[in-house]
Structure 1
Amino acid sequence: MNLTKVSIQQTFGQIAIQTQNASQEMHSQAAELSIKQPPGTLEISSPSGDLNIDSSAAWAALGKGPNLDWMSMIYSQSKGIALQGIARIVAEGHRMAQITNPQNPFAEIAKRDYRAPNPVQYTTAPSYTNVRISYQPYPAEITGVPHSVELQASSPQLDVQYNPGSVDIYMKQQNSIDIQVSQYDWYK
């Protein structure tokens, strides 16, 4: 018996891709920058303050103040002096009214009247607080004038070169099918 033999051989196709990358070149020189800062102007003025010295209380304490102030000081004491005098007279009257008192109140009262100090105060107590000092300062006047920064920049030209890439596509191996029919001897 003779049989036919079929032989099939296949070759695959191959596609080849070849690329060349793009390239880019940039060249630039360094930029130049110039910065100038002029100093600002500052003006400070300080006005003199006011110094006030009031020594009228010190002169009054020495009895050398204005006549009206001196008379007002004496007048303001008169009511108190009168009330003290009335109180003293009442107390002396009570002492003289005591008949059973073994002492002699009349002699003691007469003796004391000669030695009695003057109740009117013509001066006040001297003290360092009699002179009043006040000082009024004025704030300092500050005027500032800033100056702006001066910038100068020079930027050089940028040199750019571009080389485009490429892509090549081609068939490296063609596809094919080979079919062959031959006689086949089974017993061979």
Structure 2
Amino acid sequence: MRPVEIQIHQVSGQLGLNITQPNINLKITAPDIQMKTTPANLELTIEPPEIFIDSREAFDSMGLQGTYSYANSLAQEAKQAAVQGIERRVSIMRQMEDPQSGSVGQVVAAASQPPEKEVVIGLSPSVRPSISAKLGTVKGTYTPARIDATVHEGKIVNNFTWGRVDIYMEREPSIDIKT
């Protein structure tokens, strides 16, 4: 018998790997904030106070009169002088009618004396000036500050791909036996 020779030829199998790496593709847009500020504003309207001083009566009391006041006082004096003159003439005429009053010359001489006039000039007024006042005002208009903001949101876009491992047979295992 002859020895039997067995030949075994073995080929190992081989696996292949197809690897796809994971991938993250992030796209980020930052938020956009637009701000507009308006400052506070204060507007003041001021009406100043007024003081009214009427010193006509004070000046009149010192003999320092204005044009109209002086004209009025002269008119009053003229009126009084006319009335007094008429009264004097009437009185003279009555004296001339009366035989006991003396001669006509004596009556006329007595009547020809000028009347005394008293002039008063003062250094300080006897009447106070009239003083009045109107108060001033302050009006304000206030506008508060403002902040107007517009916000555009940011965005995050994510393109994510999972990683992958594909296994395939690159070479099939085999056993070949020959006798």
Q: Please classify the TM superposition score into its range, dividing by the shorter chain length.
A: 0.3 to 0.5
What TM-score results when the alignment is normalised by the length of structure 2?
A: 0.38
TM-score, normalization: structure 1? 0.37
